[in-house]
Amino acid sequence: MAAAAGEVRLIGAWPSPYVLRPRVALNLKGVEYEFLEVKFGEKSELLLRSNPVYKKIPVLLHHDKPVCESMIIVEYVDGAWANSGQAILPADPYERALHRFWAVYIDDKWFPSMVGIGKAETEEAKAESAEQARAGLKLLEEAF
């Protein structure tokens, strides 16, 4: 589904898993968008205006109206372009709640352990983060 120039923009940084989620949603729905890339640690005036509460990426701008937080953006994209492509999230309330639960688990538990591997200052800390990541993947594998 083509969008008019400037109609849909996404503020983010390409390596961010939180930015990847809305990019996948937009692509699944076939929505054309402009990717406004920012560097980690730098906060553009547009970002600060668009997300004055958390001041972080990602931010979706649809007709210059900001939508913040990756899962909220996915839900918005799924609803705003409901007639484009397949639904991203299930219609059943229980199934939808399960999807949200696992997304929060990944955000709160699994991503931090992955980041911990890269930021660990000792081999012991790196091994502990790696074990947490493996345990998280095992749990996800069992759940799915």
Q: What is the pLDDT of residues 95-126, one digit of tens each?
A: 999 999 999 999 998 988 888 898 989 999 99
- Residue 97 CA to residue 101 CA, distance in Å, equals 6
Q: Which of 80, 104, 121 is the last residue of a domain?
A: 80
Q: Are residues 76 and 139 in the same domain?
A: no
Degrees, nearest 5: CA angle 112-117-119 = 85
Q: Residue 99: inside a domain, yes or no? A: yes
- Residue 46 CA to residue 116 CA, distance in Å, equals 30
SS3 state of residue 70: helix
Number of domains the chain is built from: 2
- Domain containing residue 73: 8-80
Q: Are residues 71 and 20 in the same domain?
A: yes
- Residue 98 CA to residue 6 CA, distance in Å, equals 34
Q: What is the pLDDT of residue 42?
A: 87
Strand runs labelled E in 26-134: 34-37, 59-62, 65-68
Residue 14 sits in a domain of what CATH number?
Answer: 3.40.30.10
Q: What is the pLDDT of residue 3?
A: 56
As a whole-number percent, the residues of the chain with pLDDT over 90 amount to: 78
| Residues 32/5, Cβ–Cβ less than 8 Å | no
Q: What is the pLDDT of residue 4?
A: 56
